Amino acid sequence: MDEAAPRTRKRKAVTIYDVAKRAHVSIKTVSMVLNNLPAVKAETRARVQDAIDALAYHPNQLARGLASHRSFMLGLFCDGNAIGSNYIARIQMEILKTCQKEGYHLVIEYVEPSSPNLARQVQSLMVQSDLAGGILTPPLSEHDGLIEALKHTDTPIARYSPERSMPGFIDVDMDNVQAGYDMAALLLSLGHRRIGFVHGEYDHADARARFAGFRRAMAEWKVPVDESLCLPGEFTYKSGMDAGDVLLSLPERPTAILAANDDMAAGVLAASLRFNLRVPEDLSIAGFDDSLFSQAMWPRLTICRQPLTEMTEAVVAALIRNEGVEPAAMVFPHKVIVRQSTAAPAEARF
Amino acid sequence: MDEAAPRTRKRKAVTIYDVAKRAHVSIKTVSMVLNNLPAVKAETRARVQDAIDALAYHPNQLARGLASHRSFMLGLFCDGNAIGSNYIARIQMEILKTCQKEGYHLVIEYVEPSSPNLARQVQSLMVQSDLAGGILTPPLSEHDGLIEALKHTDTPIARYSPERSMPGFIDVDMDNVQAGYDMAALLLSLGHRRIGFVHGEYDHADARARFAGFRRAMAEWKVPVDESLCLPGEFTYKSGMDAGDVLLSLPERPTAILAANDDMAAGVLAASLRFNLRVPEDLSIAGFDDSLFSQAMWPRLTICRQPLTEMTEAVVAALIRNEGVEPAAMVFPHKVIVRQSTAAPAEARF
DNA sequence: CTGAAAGCGCTTACAG
DNA sequence: CTGAAAGCGCTTACAG
């Protein structure tokens, strides 16, 4: 190879034939060693392993995928707006960790939910690379047109927080109604009565469910829901901040604000600073998800933890084994974690 | 296919042979149409295209990659701590956008910088999947052992912010010394004299360069650097908050704090709240990078924008075309963006 | 402008 | 427990 022109011409790759020759076995035997199939004598296995090490052999995944129809790749589909979402960041991290344990790789694709040929695009990506599985996060996981088209795909598909679970899909979620109820109950128990709610996007099933749980708790406590305290948001820090501005400008402002995710809760916190409010003394704030950010910020946010670690392990396992598709969504237990952003309202103290 | 047991058995895939048969041409012609090679009669091309559409044919990327030695996949290597870093998030987004334009796919791999066989691991990932290129972000891009090993790889490799640029690598960066100088000059011009600096990790070239620039500006303004105001950080929100706590507890606290990236600057902002300081009235805060978060937060952060869009476009283009490796790093122009977190110090006003 | 054929580097029945 | 051979679905010289 010419030293002056590096990386221009590929070195001839070391193949399974080279290993077989050196170990004095057939390529079949090498293949069995590589794939950890048991039917190889220990002595033979050792000889093959030595050859592999000596030649620094790396099996070609493309060839392996082509021959076996197993690409060992999973695809994660997100919409472009997911950028900066700490929720998606955590999902991605969890998938990556689990994939690595299983010897799988992750391909990331951003797609535009509003694109007219979204379904074809996603399907094409899965078929072309022969993905072992596709993973959909909201809002893609509840995109009717996409889901309808994907019913007829061979690739197993997992969805986080689908609108409603469906046979043929691997669905994971937590009980968002209960989670919403639990968080509202927490604030109510603390003594709050004027509670603001920052909704997520209305086409987002999780957000609606959390809001429903909130209302249920309010009803149970016999506290009427003041609709002027319930504002829309977009699951972003910015939208939480905007909603917070509105709520805190009110003549009679809420003593607590519950946001449908923690990025928005962080935004509400930022808004509270503009009004020179202390958290939690003057205002309690709570959210959902438990992103790394919500744990790092100050004051640390009281949240309802979404069990993304457990959900992701289930998703990846089901995808990889492509085992019988669950009839219903797998629902994992959430957990209320009280940190520093919530306290009893000022009037209720002492 | 059994309707009751979905996705268990793969449908026979549509292949290039099916398309060729239907269009009454050879597979060679189909291949040429697929790859947009010019030497096909328009009429033939149309006939092939019709067949492709009619059969919903998706060329198998694995087969294509195997045959052509072009996988159309790029690999992004990050260390696990990168999670939650808004800098890495922005890089990932930029790569994804550029890849999609070019018809490439992105495989993400997290690796542990402290792993003893890091180099083998990275190399193996590149060789196995026959990646068209590998992308390294800090701290991997300046990891001596890894870089040394990667010199002898066939796969083209791009690095963000390497320690020092090297022939054989595609290196991109901005002028961090100048950037550090510019940001310090901004604060000095506003009238600040007691300026805190939150350093990044000491093995991080960018951080050191930014600090050097800071010192240069201080020297030029004849303001001695108070070492007790220069604290280490880890490029995270949390570490910025901790450093802020220390700086703001000082009997004579700084009137401005410059952090080596904007996640840390956001942390300093959080710390300032604990001390009931108003930003920018009581304290000016500035950072580097320009993450989406630094744009969304309140007050919006004054920062030095790292031109990641331009850097990434250059990286991907160079990787894909595998064109002559640059002798030196490609350096892209930074830009100081003044937003709401900086102002003249209280004493200097009026 | 287009065909027939070899080859990319694996896996996998089929034999033994 | 191991071999010889076909095949996965493409690309690419080589001819014409």
How far apart (Å, rounded) are the C-alpha atoms in residues A118 and A141?
12
CATH architecture type of domain B176-306+336-348? 3-Layer(aba) Sandwich (3.40)
User: pLDDT class for A165, splitting at 50, 70, 90?
Assistant: confident
Return the domain boundaries, chain A. 16-59, 73-174+308-333, 176-306+336-348
Count Cβ atoms below 10 Å from residue A144 Cβ, excluding itself.
Answer: 9
CB-to-strand D under 7 Å, chain A 66-95: 66-67
- Report how many Cβ contacts below 8 Å link chain A to chain B: 151
- pLDDT tens track for B26-85: 899 999 999 888 778 888 889 999 999 999 999 999 999 999 988 899 999 988 777 778
pLDDT tens track for B289-340: 998 888 888 889 999 999 999 999 999 999 988 765 666 679 999 999 999 9
- Confidence band for B245, pLDDT divided at 50, 70 and 90: very high
pLDDT of residue B350: 42
Q: What's the pLDDT tens digit per position in B7-16?
A: 434 556 789 9
pLDDT at B83: 74
* Bridge partners of residue B134, in order along the sequence: B75, B157
The topology under which CATH files domain B16-59 is 434 Repressor (Amino-terminal Domain) (1.10.260)
CATH superfamily membership of A73-174+308-333: Response regulator (3.40.50.2300)
Average pLDDT over residues B161-185: 94
pLDDT digits (tens, 9 = 90+) for A17-39: 999 989 999 899 999 999 888 77
CA–centroid distance for A171 within its chain: 12
For residue A302, give every residue at least 6 positions away whose Cβ sits within 8 Å of its Cβ, in sequence order, or none: A186, A284, A285, A286, A287, A336, A337, A338, A339, A340, A341, A342
Please indicate whether the domains covering B73-174+308-333 and B176-306+336-348 agree at the CATH topology level: yes
Residue nearest to nucleotide C3 (CA to C1'): B26
Q: What is the C-alpha to C-alpha distance for residues A160 and A15, in angstroms, rounded to an integer?
A: 40
A12 touches chain B (CB under 8 A): no
Q: Which two tokens stand for residue B189?
A: 């011009």
Find which of B129, B245, B292 to mutate to test the A interface (most A CBs within 10 Å of its CB).
B129
Predicted pLDDT at B5: 37
pLDDT exceeds cutoff 70 at A139: yes
Report which of residues B252 and B78 the model is more confident about: B252
**Distance (Å) from the alpha carbon of A307 to chain B's nearest alpha carbon:** 17
Give the highest mean pLDDT range of A78-87, A125-134, A224-233, B62-71.
A224-233
* Cα torsion A164, A167, A170, A174: sign: positive
Could you report the per-residue pLDDT of B268-303, keeping only the tens digit for each?
998 998 898 999 999 999 999 998 888 888 889 999
